[in-house]
């Protein structure tokens, strides 16, 4: 990952370990910049920003961009390399008719062995089906290596100096989701940004007033790795409303990448979700609802140290329950394409499904930007909330049975 040329010419690259813990930088005009998330009252879960108590931050400064306003399923001009993962409802690359007919092989027979669906892509060289097994074997190995080591929002006695309250992280994540929407980035970019931020926070202590700098820098790194058309560095600084300058972001970028050993080639959860979608016949409604479950799980503090393939399986399983795909709950084919997860017999998996349902229905922390993002069009949010409410009313009796 290259830093800007002027940075390499003028700055010393020997960054010390206390860079992110230093005092907030000052603007060129001599005025002190606004602290990233304000001062945290130790007796309250709220933050104090500009002398006022708030529970969440919203973007106060509009960004003037030529890109149209995004939605959860907005399509943008993308390269041919990206097109093979296009999730447009009306322009899927795959032939859904052929996939659906093949899927019936195992949908009608719950006891049949797992079905090889990768053969359906043999005619499309861009899908490289002959390498699928090797690719995902590598992904399963790398996701273990590049997941956060600890959940730093657990009790302070468990994580020590790395502890951050769930409410503080929720405010940070909610702001990050909103910025991601403003910039109209790919879903992969948000997931990678959260992964970078969580991995760094699980191993490094960061002062509260530098958390917003950490979040915007994580997004800056992720966009350079995932995006084709990048927002300018000045836009990242502008969106923080004075909390971080361009120089702050460049310095933090170098420090964070050094601490992470430049390991950012993380297996993105969208890879696992799309692979599971193949076993479901590429049902568009199921996939879109699964995206909400997946994004909510990554934004929730309960699942910080969970692997992306595992969270993708939870999201996809619950999405099938929302759309009432009762022809089959989970069989050997889903187990194979989820990386070996036995949804109907794995107690940890079932408990985490219930945790996610409960968190959506009665959240411990607020994620307003995320909910607003999916509360459009066909209102995925409403469908999911109705389902979660019903499951709680029935004490989850129908989550793992017909």
Half-sphere exposure of 263 (CA within 13 A, CB side): 15
What number of other Cβ atoms are within 10 A of residue 112's Cβ?
13
Most confident of 14-28, 85-99, 324-338: 324-338
110-142+269-393 adopts what CATH topology? Cyclin A; domain 1 (1.10.472)
Can you point out the beta strands (E) in 33-87? 39-40, 47-49, 52-54
CB–CB of 152/211 below 8 Å? no
Domain boundaries, the chain: 110-142+269-393, 162-266
The pTM score is 0.75
Same topology for domains 110-142+269-393 and 162-266, yes or no? Answer: yes
- Given this model, what pLDDT does residue 129 score? 85
- Given this model, what pLDDT does residue 317 score? 97
Reduce the DSSP state of residue 26 to 3 states and report it: strand
Extract the tokens encoding 291.
């995206």
Higher pLDDT, 187 or 90: 187
- Given this model, what pLDDT does residue 327 score? 80
Residues of the chain with pLDDT > 90: what percent? Answer: 58
- Given this model, what pLDDT does residue 259 score? 96
- Given this model, what pLDDT does residue 27 score? 43
Residue 375: pLDDT over 50 = yes
Q: Among the CATH numbers 3.30.360.10, 1.10.472.10, 3.30.390.10, 1.10.3300.10, which is that of 162-266? A: 1.10.472.10
Q: How many angstroms separate the Cα of 316 from the Cα of each of 120, 284, 341?
A: 21, 12, 12
Residue 140: pLDDT over 90 = yes
- Given this model, what pLDDT does residue 125 score? 84
For residue range 214-262, list pLDDT tens digits in order.
Answer: 999 999 999 999 999 999 999 999 999 988 999 999 999 999 999 999 9
For residue range 76-123, list pLDDT tens digits in order.
Answer: 333 333 333 344 444 343 344 333 333 333 333 444 587 888 888 888
Look-up of token digits 């390399």 = 81
For residue range 285-322, list pLDDT tens digits in order.
Answer: 999 999 999 999 999 999 999 999 999 999 999 999 99
Q: How confident is the model at residue 334 (pLDDT cuts 50, 70, 90)?
A: very high
- Average pLDDT over all residues of the chain: 79
Q: How far apart are CA 331 and CA 334, in angstroms?
A: 5
> Which of 13-22, 80-89, 267-276 bottoms out in mean pLDDT, i.e. has the lowest?
80-89
- Given this model, what pLDDT does residue 113 score? 80
């Amino acid at each position: 990952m290259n830093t800007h040329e002027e940075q390499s010419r003028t700055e010393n690259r020997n960054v010390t370990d206390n860079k992110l813990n230093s005092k907030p930088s000052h603007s060129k005009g001599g005025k002190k910049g606004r602290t990233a998330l304000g001062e945290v009252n130790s007796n309250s879960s709220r933050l104090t920003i500009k002398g006022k108590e708030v529970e969440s931050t919203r973007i106060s400064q509009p960004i003037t961009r030529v890109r149209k306003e995004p939605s959860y399923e907005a399509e943008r001009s993308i390269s041919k390399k990206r097109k093979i993962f296009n999730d447009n409802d009306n322009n899927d690359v795959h032939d859904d008719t052929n996939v659906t007919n093949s899927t019936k092989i195992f949908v009608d027979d719950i006891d049949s062995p797992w079905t090889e669906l990768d053969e359906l892509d043999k005619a499309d060289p861009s899908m490289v089906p002959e390498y699928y097994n090797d690719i995902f074997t590598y992904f399963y190995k790398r996701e273990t290596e590049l997941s956060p080591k600890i959940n730093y929002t657990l009790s302070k006695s468990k994580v020590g100096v790395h502890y951050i309250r769930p409410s503080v992280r929720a405010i940070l994540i909610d702001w990050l989701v909103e910025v991601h929407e403003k910039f109209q980035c790919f879903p992969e970019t948000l997931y990678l940004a959260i992964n970078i931020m969580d991995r760094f926070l699980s191993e490094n202590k960061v002062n509260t007033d530098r958390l917003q700098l950490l979040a915007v820098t994580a997004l800056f790194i992720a966009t350079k790795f995932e995006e084709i058309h990048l927002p300018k560095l000045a836009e990242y600084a502008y969106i923080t409303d004075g909390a971080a300058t361009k120089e702050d972001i460049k310095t933090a970028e170098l420090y964070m990448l050094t601490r992470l050993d430049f390991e950012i080639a993380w297996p993105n959860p969208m890879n696992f979700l799309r692979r599971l979608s193949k076993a479901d016949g590429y049902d568009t409604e199921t996939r879109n609802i699964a995206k909400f479950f997946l994004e909510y799980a990554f934004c929730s503090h309960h699942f910080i140290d969970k692997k992306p393939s595992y969270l993708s399986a939870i999201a996809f399983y619950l999405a099938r329950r929302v759309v009432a795909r009762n022809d089959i709950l989970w069989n050997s084919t889903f187990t194979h394409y989820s990386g070996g997860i036995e949804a109907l017999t794995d107690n940890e998996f079932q408990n985490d499904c219930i945790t996610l349902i409960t968190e959506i229905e009665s959240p411990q922390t607020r994620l307003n930007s995320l909910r607003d993002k999916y509360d459009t069009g066909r209102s995925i949010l409403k469908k999911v909330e109705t389902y979660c409410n019903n499951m709680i009313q029935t004490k989850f009796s129908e989550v793992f049975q017909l």
